[in-house]
A and B are shown apart, each in its own frame.
Chain A
Amino acid sequence: MCSLLRGEEMCLAQLFLQSGSAYDCINELGELGLVEFRDLNPGVNAFQRKHVNEIKKCEEMERILGYLLREVKKADISLPEGDVNPVAPLPKHVMAIMEQLQRLEVELGEVTRNKEKLQRNLLELTEYTHMLRTTRNFVQRTSEVSVSFCHVYEEFPFLEKDTLMDYSSMQRLGAKLGFISGLIQRTKIEAFERMLWRVCKGYTILSYAEVEEYLEDPDTGEPTKSVVFLISYWGDQIGQKVKKICDCYHCHLYPYPSSNEERTDVVEGLRTRIQDLHTVLHRTDDYLKQVLMKASESVYTWVIQVKKMKAIYFILNLCSFDVTNKCLIAEVWCPVNDIPTLRRALEEGSRKSGATVPSFVNRIPTNDTPPTLIRTNKFTSGFQNIVDAYGVGNYREVNPAPFTIITFPFLFAVMFGDLGHGVIMALFALWMVLYENNRKLKNTRNEIWNTFFEGRYIILMMGLFSIYTGLIYNDCFSKSLNIFGSGWSVKAMFEAKVWKDADIRGNRVLTLDPNVTGVFRGPYPLGIDPIWNLASNRLTFLNSYKMKMSVILGVIHMSFGVILSTYNYLHFRKKHSLYLVFLPELLFLLCLFGYLVFMIFYKWLVFTAKDSRLAPSILIHFINMFLMQGDGVQPLYPGQTGLQVFLVVIAVLSVPVLLLGKPVYLYWLHNGSHRLGMYRGYERVRRNSEEELYLMRAHDMEEGSSHSDLSTSGERQTEEFDFADEFLHQAIHTIEYCLGCVSNTASYLRLWALSLAHAQLSEVLWTMVMRVGLRMDTSLGVFFLVPVFGLFAVLTVSILLVMEGLSAFLHALRLHWVEFQNKFYSGTGVKFCPFSFSLHLSVT
């Protein structure tokens, strides 16, 4: 079993589907999401496949459904929320759905077009009304002037009555006065005026006024401001020019009434027409809404049904048609444990379609590497995702995910290490976990929220581990908690007469001496002593501690990675790798860096406060170990030089073994014995001992191959063994490993660096924000404390939790991906993507 450690065992199977029941069988398989189909017609392009017409029909239906959905959304109708899961329709029902959709589309199209036309009409009438009203104001002014002259000039009665309002020409003057009136957008009016002036050179008079209300522009639908203008021109040619200019500026021109009576008549008529139009538009809107509401009830169901149908036809296109047997053949990758379920699904499909001959499944042997399937539940899927983001594992390779469940939150917590922040993070994650079935949380479109929600279990673990490391570092919002009572006593310094009262006043800092009796009463039971929070040399002490802790954790993590590679070697039956690769690697790592860890522990355990002045520097000893100079400094323990020389020699000797061992061994293996011919190709034979055959072939294949990574492609011939290629590969691996050991160990120092950064940021936030509020000693100071705390809370969440949290997450992830996984994980596999409706549907 152990699916999470290694991945499921997969096999290649052939499905023989009767033509009549193919659709139903694939329907069943889609609902279950068991198998991944292989493309049996790779050379055929999309337009030459068998079911291309059905797919075209599906796409046509999808187009109409998309249009319907857009219209429904525009009309603000809410769609039914429920989790519907309708089955894919049978081919005979498809025509009915298609018909309904087409009818709906035609109806909606008609109604929308009518509505647009009516709205355009309404706009025109409104503009005309505005124009008439505004131009009356123009004329009102001038007619007051002309009224005073009206009784003077008798022979020009026409003139006096309404000089500027005359639409027809004034024959007596031999001149033709014409009027053009209309509306133009406000943004264009100045350019328009200037253009008129330039072209017509003063033979036109333009008066304009702005319309107060916003009119909707018919093309863009946005409310725009328009200006009513009235051009009076002199002469026919000028009139042509003016008309052309008006065309250029997209003005809406309306006929100018010749007299006041005509004007009032037109206004009346317009008013009634506008009222009518409003009523008609209202009714149209209502009708449209009704149609859309009726459609919205079934739109979602149709969308899902059409998608499922399209997916089934897509899969049917991947199958090949076996003419002799009158059935379809499909090749699928299937987990071995699911073959009975697969059989049952095929039987179910055959039964549903009423076929007489059942479809069946047949397992076939293959040389190809199957895709990797790792079954996860809601807890492990988050961790598996972050491992897969680096690379999906090879088939049956050790999966780092189960170990990541613990090591990742732990390394994060080492870098984050604050009790208060850990509590907040854990509570936030707990809320997400408890409400994980709340649909509103699950189905939001916000990408960032979805990322956090998917990783809710990871965040919960990170929070819980941070609480633990917060207790160890004794850091809660940058203050230490004194739970057990500090192990240091200041009073003892006075009792021992080392300090006097004058010392307190005379010195800025004083040092507590642990060698004085009573000052240091023993280590704090859990974590760092709270007195360090008050010490000014706190960072000196913590830095030393955290750096050593980082190196220790790093060496442990890396050794664990190297040990995991043995699982791979044993499973893929490469015993030689165990001795020629794993052993030198482990010796190199432990002899050098394992010894460093040993020295750290030795110094911690052996040297006490009494001989703290004589305590040696481990770094100097480590460097001297390489330079083989042991004489300058005092040895840590008797026999140190000898042991160190021994360890260095072993480490140096393991390098050539790592470099040459495996290529030379494989070369000897290939040229020293005869190889059997490889069993190639696959056959459609049903066998009981398929499993053994498969394993034997896999074993042969891998024994003869150069490296597990290279043995994935299909028809490789493994008769030849390329020594140069293998040697080069191993050389690169050796160099990478040996140099990597040094650089990766140093890389783990980021655990120290980030925890220091977090602690300092936390302290700065408290000092600069919270302390200001607490130190207020006025009586109104308490009211100042309330907003200060609010600010402190917001900054804590945004800077310390979000920013530092993401930073620590990233660095912990990097440590896993690079330093841990490059010791054993290749991650060049292919992920198993089963044909499943839920996967297809969730994409959109």
Chain B
Amino acid sequence: MPSLLFCGPKMAACGIVISIWGVIMLAMLGIFFSAKSAVLIEDVPFTEEDIRKDTNPPQNIYSLYNQVGINCFIAAGIYVAVGAVSLCQVRLNKRQEYMVT
């Protein structure tokens, strides 16, 4: 079986750090978007149409908020996967280190 190792120890460590940060930050962003925080209004992709043609205000904007929130949660999930891969790489690197010396 060819070696599964494709990045060095430092790169794997960076991967783990960014993954952990990504999971925490994107999860919190997802929570804040779901809570319809006003501070994040600029990050929601609404247009003038959405506001003007809203039959039941502010449901359009709210649904957009939810959509972005779900996006953030999915991204957090992807970062969990990336973190798991990085963790494997770190373990493989450690094992290789033991075998060489």
A126 in the interface (beta carbon within 8 A): no
A786 / chain B contacts, CB cutoff of 8 Å: 22, 75, 78-79, 82
B41 in the interface (beta carbon within 8 A): yes
Contact among A776, A783, A785, A793 for B18, CB-based, below 8 A: A793
B29 / chain A contacts, CB cutoff of 8 Å: 774
Per-residue B-contact encoding for A18-51, CB less than 8 Å = 1, 0 else: 0000000000000000000000000000000000
Q: Is the CB of B67 within 8 A of A789?
A: no
Q: Is the CB of B43 within 8 A of A782?
A: no
A781 in the interface (beta carbon within 8 A): yes
Shortest beta-carbon distance from B19 to chain A in Å: 9
Shortest beta-carbon distance from B32 to chain A in Å: 8
B49 / chain A contacts, CB cutoff of 8 Å: none
Q: Is the CB of A479 within 8 A of B74?
A: no
Shortest beta-carbon distance from B95 to chain A in Å: 17
A774/B39 contact (C-beta < 8 A), A782-B74, A786-B75 known: no
B37 in the interface (beta carbon within 8 A): yes
A530 to B39, CA, bound (A): 8
Q: Is the CB of B22 within 8 A of A789?
A: yes
Shortest beta-carbon distance from A518 to chain B in Å: 18
B37 / chain A contacts, CB cutoff of 8 Å: 482
Interface residues on B, range: 20 to 34
A765 in the interface (beta carbon within 8 A): no
CB closest chain-A residue, reference B18 = A793
A78 in the interface (beta carbon within 8 A): yes
B38 in the interface (beta carbon within 8 A): yes
A789 / chain B contacts, CB cutoff of 8 Å: 22, 25-26, 75, 79
- Which residues 270-291 of A sit at the B interface, judged by CB distance below 8 A? none
A533/B26 contact (C-beta < 8 A), A776-B45, A789-B75 known: no
Per-residue A-contact encoding for B62-101, CB less than 8 Å = 1, 0 else: 0010011001101100110010000000000000000001
Q: Is the CB of A534 within 8 A of B71?
A: no
Which interface residue of B39, B41, B101 has the most chain A CB atoms within 10 A?
B39
A222 / chain B contacts, CB cutoff of 8 Å: none
Q: Is the CB of A790 within 8 A of B18?
A: yes
Shortest beta-carbon distance from A75 to chain B in Å: 16
A190 in the interface (beta carbon within 8 A): no
CB closest chain-B residue, reference A481 = B39
Q: Is the CB of A482 within 8 A of B45?
A: no
Which interface residue of B45, B75, B79 has the most chain A CB atoms within 10 A?
B75
CB closest chain-A residue, reference B79 = A786
A480 in the interface (beta carbon within 8 A): yes
- Which residues 13-68 of B sit at the A interface, judged by CB distance below 8 A? 18, 21-22, 25-26, 29, 37-45, 64, 67-68
Shortest beta-carbon distance from A193 to chain B in Å: 48
Q: Is the CB of A771 within 8 A of B38?
A: no
A771 to B68, CA, bound (A): 11
CB closest chain-B residue, reference A420 = B25
Q: Is the CB of A774 within 8 A of B43?
A: yes
A770 in the interface (beta carbon within 8 A): yes
B75 / chain A contacts, CB cutoff of 8 Å: 782, 785-786, 789
A212 in the interface (beta carbon within 8 A): no
A482/B72 contact (C-beta < 8 A), A777-B45, A786-B79 known: no
Q: Is the CB of B18 within 8 A of A479?
A: no
- Which residues 521-537 of A sit at the B interface, judged by CB distance below 8 A? 530, 533-534
A294 in the interface (beta carbon within 8 A): no
Interface SS majority for chain B: helix
B101 / chain A contacts, CB cutoff of 8 Å: 78
A534/B22 contact (C-beta < 8 A), A777-B67, A781-B71, A786-B79 known: no
A92 in the interface (beta carbon within 8 A): no
- Which residues 770-799 of A sit at the B interface, judged by CB distance below 8 A? 770-771, 774-777, 781-783, 785-786, 789-790, 793-794
A533/B18 contact (C-beta < 8 A), A774-B68, A786-B78 known: no
A424 / chain B contacts, CB cutoff of 8 Å: 21
A325 to B40, CA, bound (A): 86
Per-residue B-contact encoding for A784-827, CB less than 8 Å = 1, 0 else: 01100110011000000000000000000000000000000000
CB closest chain-A residue, reference B43 = A774
Q: Is the CB of A534 within 8 A of B39?
A: yes
Shortest beta-carbon distance from B96 to chain A in Å: 16
Q: Is the CB of A775 within 8 A of B39?
A: no
- Which residues 738-778 of A sit at the B interface, judged by CB distance below 8 A? 767, 770-771, 774-777
Shortest beta-carbon distance from A429 to chain B in Å: 14
- Which residues 57-90 of A sit at the B interface, judged by CB distance below 8 A? 78
Shortest beta-carbon distance from B82 to chain A in Å: 8
Shortest beta-carbon distance from A774 to chain B in Å: 4
Shortest beta-carbon distance from A422 to chain B in Å: 14
Contact among A534, A776, A781, A790 for B41, CB-based, below 8 A: A534
Q: Is the CB of A782 within 8 A of B71?
A: yes
A794 / chain B contacts, CB cutoff of 8 Å: 18
B40 / chain A contacts, CB cutoff of 8 Å: 479
A477 to B29, CA, bound (A): 11
CB closest chain-B residue, reference A431 = B17
A793 to B23, CA, bound (A): 12
B67 / chain A contacts, CB cutoff of 8 Å: 777
CB closest chain-B residue, reference A477 = B25
A119 to B22, CA, bound (A): 57
A480 to B21, CA, bound (A): 19
Contact among A480, A482, A771, A783 for B43, CB-based, below 8 A: A771
Shortest beta-carbon distance from B41 to chain A in Å: 7
A534 / chain B contacts, CB cutoff of 8 Å: 38-39, 41
B38 / chain A contacts, CB cutoff of 8 Å: 482, 534
Q: Is the CB of B39 within 8 A of A482?
A: yes
A793 / chain B contacts, CB cutoff of 8 Å: 18, 21-22
- Which residues 461-518 of A sit at the B interface, judged by CB distance below 8 A? 477, 479-480, 482
Shortest beta-carbon distance from A667 to chain B in Å: 67
Shortest beta-carbon distance from A489 to chain B in Å: 12
A340 to B21, CA, bound (A): 55
Q: Is the CB of A774 within 8 A of B18?
A: no
Q: Is the CB of B68 within 8 A of A479?
A: no
Q: Is the CB of B43 within 8 A of A770?
A: yes
Q: Is the CB of B22 within 8 A of A790?
A: yes
Q: Is the CB of A785 within 8 A of B72?
A: yes
Q: Is the CB of B71 within 8 A of A774?
A: yes
A479/B45 contact (C-beta < 8 A), A785-B72, A790-B18 known: no
A783 to B74, CA, bound (A): 9
Shortest beta-carbon distance from A187 to chain B in Å: 36
Contact among B39, B43, B64, B72 for A533, CB-based, below 8 A: B39
Q: Is the CB of A479 within 8 A of B22?
A: no
Shortest beta-carbon distance from B35 to chain A in Å: 10
A767 to B45, CA, bound (A): 13
A767 / chain B contacts, CB cutoff of 8 Å: 42
B72 / chain A contacts, CB cutoff of 8 Å: 774, 785
CB closest chain-A residue, reference B32 = A479
Shortest beta-carbon distance from B36 to chain A in Å: 11
A783 / chain B contacts, CB cutoff of 8 Å: 78
B74 / chain A contacts, CB cutoff of 8 Å: 782
A533 / chain B contacts, CB cutoff of 8 Å: 39
A776 / chain B contacts, CB cutoff of 8 Å: 45, 71
A775/B79 contact (C-beta < 8 A), A482-B37, A781-B71, A793-B22 known: no
Shortest beta-carbon distance from B99 to chain A in Å: 15
A777 to B50, CA, bound (A): 13
B44 / chain A contacts, CB cutoff of 8 Å: 774-775
A-B contact pairs, 16 of them (CB 8 A): A477-B25, A479-B40, A482-B37, A482-B38, A534-B38, A534-B39, A771-B43, A775-B43, A776-B71, A777-B67, A781-B71, A782-B71, A783-B78, A785-B26, A786-B78, A786-B82
Residues in B lying within 8 Å of A, measured CB to CB: 18, 21-22, 25-26, 29, 37-45, 64, 67-68, 71-72, 74-75, 78-79, 82, 101
| 7 further interface pairs, Cβ-Cβ under 8 Å (given A775-B45, A776-B71) | A479-B40, A482-B38, A530-B39, A785-B26, A785-B71, A786-B79, A789-B22
Q: Which 8 A-B pairs have the closest CB atoms?
A: A775-B45, A774-B43, A777-B45, A785-B75, A782-B71, A782-B74, A786-B78, A793-B18
